[in-house]
Structure formats: structure tokens, C-alpha cells
A and B are shown apart, each in its own frame.
Chain A
Amino acid sequence: MDQQQYLSAFGEVLLFILAGVIFILVTLFVSKLIRPSRPNPEKLSTYESGEEAVSSAWSQFNIRFYIIALIFLLFEVEIVFLFPWSTVFANETLIKETKGLWGWFSFVEMVIFILVLALGLAYAWVKGHLDWIKPDPKPTRFSSPVPKEHYHAINEKYKSSK
């Protein structure tokens, strides 16, 4: 039965996905027909532990998630390159034709590639982007031509006028 190919492999995957979509739509529709619907303002308000919800949730969130996403992107691209390489790496005909030289060649090639990316990971690690709990922030060192005492003097001067 498999010899007769009426659909390409991905055509069959598409059939499967369509069946999934139909299943979901039917379930949602049946549920919509059966369930009661008696909304009131209390029910439709946002849940915030029984309190009135304060402001919208669509606001800023921690920048660290963004950095993680950036590093992820880097490695995901690496993995995309590694997948085709890994199939070719184990290719027996290529290994036989080159008397085993192929393995070393592709291996060294990939070591160089991974090392470059591992350098990126090491950089992020050293910079502390992978630490979820940040160590106490240290003030940046700087040298200013204006001595500290001047600032202090100005602060003192305008303190009383407040």
C-alpha cells in the first residue's frame, strides 16, 4: 500500500494537521452550544486575588528574559547548522572513499564552528547574563575633573533653601 504514493509525505502531514484543526473546532463549537452563558461584570473582571485589578498587565517586564531570548536565538541557529552536519558526519560511503579522513575533516570543521559559538556563551556567562540573581550592583568607577567636595558643597549650600 505504501508503494502507491498519491500524496507527498508532507501532504499526509497536512491531512493530519487538518484533522487536528477540525477536532479542535468541533470541540469548541459543541462546548459553545452546550454551556450556559450568564456573564456579569464581576465575572468578567480580571482576577487579582480578590482585589480590584490595578492597571493593565501589558507593561514592562524584566529585561533579562529578552537577553535569554537573544542568546537562545544564537544557539538555535547553531543547532540548525548542526543537524545537516551530523547526518553527513556519519555518512559511511564518504568515510570509506576518503579512508577515514572525512571524519577528521568534518569533525575539526565543526569543532571550530562550535568553539566560536561557545566563546559567545562564555562571554555571556562571564558578563553575568546567565546569572538569574544578580550580585550587588557595583558603582562604575569614573574620574571626573570636578572634585567630589564641590558637589558636596553645592548640596550643602542649597539644602537650607528647600
Chain B
Amino acid sequence: MISFLIYKAILVGVVFGITLFIAAYSTYAERKVAAFLQDRIGPDRAGPFGILQPLADGLKFIMKEEIIPNVSNKILFVLGPSIAMLTALMAGVVIPWGSTLVINGETYSLQIVDLNIGILYVFAVVSIGVYGIMIGGWASNNKFSLLGAIRASAQMISYEIAMGLSIIALIMMTGTLSLREITELQTGAVGSSWNFWNVVYQPVGFLIFLVCAFAECNRTPFDLPECETELVGGYHTEYSSMKLGFYLFAEYINMFISSAVISTLYFGGYNFPFMNDLGMDQNIITIIGTIGLFIKIGFFIFFFMWIRWTIPRFRYDQLMNLGWKILIPLAIINIFITGLFGIL
């Protein structure tokens, strides 16, 4: 019992640590990538190459004076960013970070818990994330915040439908909602049976999912909720100190989690080509697989940033048209085609 609890506590701690670490360094990476794309140097003062910049930023967030406007609803004002942060952290629990490790005859799974409704859980948690933004924006009692919050909610619920429909097309092929089982269906094996990554079977579904992931994370070109040319700071106009930090941090954690989900669903998760054919030990395969998963995640995080500094923002009517008139019908057609292929 005790060893079980220690193992789970270590796993929870490690997943939290890695999530926060990657989110913190995504902020650094974002600024470096932006600097690279715009032919600048980027942060280079805190430590060599500015490598300590995230620490400096975090420290500043903690030490800044906090201002809560007099006319705001104080309880909800605190609750908003907390919910945003919590939902961002919650999704990491079901993601299979790796296969199993065998140490002293005991099998250790590199996934905190394999829910049999894993993808549905992620989907639900992402939906709750809207509340964080909505509550925070409303509680500020600021016109910019309210507009940003309403925009964010309308945008997120619109794209959630297309996202759900694209996941359904995938599940019609795999027949399971568990993320580990979906990953294991993509295990590569040469000779007897070729298992390709799901992106080969679901290219349209992958594209829809990717676009919706951008919208759900409020990233450019879908960052209308915090569209600074119109709405100052959007839903977090009135926020300062650690609560602003929570909102910004939640965005980067969401980015990390959606990259992980995309890699797991469509790009084989911790699988890598020829993994069972080189005659390697199970533990070594697991370790290489986990590193491979993080490389895939890193690529998608970079992709998020690449898009952000390349493509301008949508207009709100274009955003709604894309969501309702293109992505949803496309996702429904995708389900039909997947269904027909599944039968024939």
C-alpha cells in the first residue's frame, strides 16, 4: 500500500514537474522563436542565452502588487484564473507518457491512470476550461474583459463541436476511448502486420483536430479573446500579479497538453518506427519511446509558435464561418466516409 502510494505520488509529482517545466520553457521558446522569425536576438540577459528568463518572469509575477478593482466580484475574480490553471493541469493525468518499465520484476506504467474513457475525459476537462475565462472576464466588471470573455466562450464552444466530431471519426476506427489502447493500436511491426500512425487513416480528421486545438488554446490565428488591437488585454485586462500569471501559464500548459494529445491520437504516441525489430530490451524501447513522444510534442509546440508568428488574426465573422460552415460539415462528411470505409 505504502509503496503503491509512493509510486503514484512520484508519478504525479513528475508529471506536474514536467508539465510546469515545459510550460515555463515554452514561454522562453516562444520569445526565442519569435525573435528568430523576426531577425532579433530575443531574451539574453538572465543567465547564458537568457536561459533563466522563465525563472525571472515567475519571480516577477509572484512579487508584483496585485490590484483587484473595487467594482469587481472578488470571489469570482480569484476563482477564474484558478479554474483556468486547474483544468489545464488536470488533463495530463490520462496521457500515456510511455510504455511500461520493468524494474526488479515489477511493472511500472508511465501513465498515471489509464481511464477507459480517456479521450472523453480530456475533452470534458477542456470544456471546463471555458469557465475559467468566462468567470474571470465577467467578474472583472470591465467592458473589454466582458467582450473578451464572451468572444472566448463563443469561439471555444463553436470549435469544440468540430473537435468532438473529428475524434468520433477516429474512435470509429479504433473502437476504444482509452488513450493507451489507441496508442498501442499504432505500434509498428514490420512483416506480419503494418500498423501506420492514425494520421495516415484520418488525414482530414487530423487537420480538423489541429485547427480546433489552435482555437481551443486561444492561439493565433484564433486569439480574438485577447485581441490587443481591439480589446486591450481581452479577458485578463484587469488581472495582475500571480493571477495574470495563471492565465498566461494555463495557455502554455494547454498548448503542451494539446500537443501531447495530437501526438498520441494521430502520431503514434510513444511508438516509433521499427521499435520491435531491432531486438532491444523492453526498458530501452520504453525510454526511447518516451523521448520520441517528447520530440513529437516539441515539434507541435514549435508548430504552434511558428503559426503564431506567421499568420495574422482572423476577423470574428471569418472565425465563426470557418467553425460552423466549414469545419462542422467537413467533420460530419468525414464521419460518413470513415463509416463507409469501416464497413467495406
> Does any Cβ of A come within 8 Å of B113's Cβ?
yes
B131-170 vs A, CB cutoff 8 Å, 1 = contact: the mask equals 0000000101111111100100110011011001100110
Chain A residue contacts of B157, Cβ below 8 A: 68-69, 72, 76
Contact A13 B113 (CB under 8 A): yes
Segment at the A interface, from B41-49, B64-72, B275-283: B64-72
Q: Say yes or no for B21: interface residue by CB 8 A criterion.
A: no
Question: In the bound complex, do residue B67 and residue A43 qualify as a contact, i.e. CB atoms below 8 Å apart?
Answer: yes
Is B12's beta carbon under 8 Å from chain A? Answer: yes
Is there contact, CB below 8 Å, between B68 and A44? yes
- Out of B107, B173, B335, B336, name the residue touching A90 (CB < 8 Å): B173
B291 on the A face (CB < 8 A):
no
Contacting A31 at CB < 8 Å: which of B120, B238, B242, B316?
B242
A93-136 vs B, Cβ < 8 Å mask (1 yes, 0 no): 00000001001100100110010001001000100001111000
Q: For chains A and B in complex, what number of residue pairs have CB atoms within 8 angstroms?
A: 213
Residues of chain B with a CB closer than 8 A to A20's CB = 16, 85-86, 89-90
Q: Render A1-21 as a binary contact track against B, CB cut-off 8 A, 1 for contact.
A: 111101101101101110111
| Alpha-carbon gap, A27 to B114, bound state (A) | 29
Contact present for B336 and A89 (CB under 8 Å): no
Q: Give the A-binding residues of B (Cβ under 8 A).
A: 1, 3-5, 7-8, 12-13, 15-16, 61-72, 78, 82, 85-86, 89-90, 92-94, 106-109, 112-116, 120-121, 138, 140-147, 150, 153-154, 157-158, 160-161, 164-165, 168-169, 171-177, 232, 237-238, 241-243, 246, 316-317, 320-321, 324-325, 328-329, 332, 335-336, 339-340, 342-343
Identify 11 new A-B residue pairs, CB closer than 8 A, beyond the known A24-B82, A57-B141: A15-B8, A23-B16, A35-B241, A36-B65, A65-B153, A86-B171, A89-B339, A103-B343, A107-B340, A125-B325, A132-B320
List chain A positions with a Cβ less than 8 A from chain B. Answer: 1-4, 6-7, 9-10, 12-13, 15-17, 19-21, 23-24, 27-28, 30-31, 34-39, 41, 43-49, 53, 56-58, 61-62, 65, 68-69, 71-72, 75-76, 79, 82-83, 86-87, 89-92, 100, 103-104, 107, 110-111, 114, 118, 121, 125, 130-133
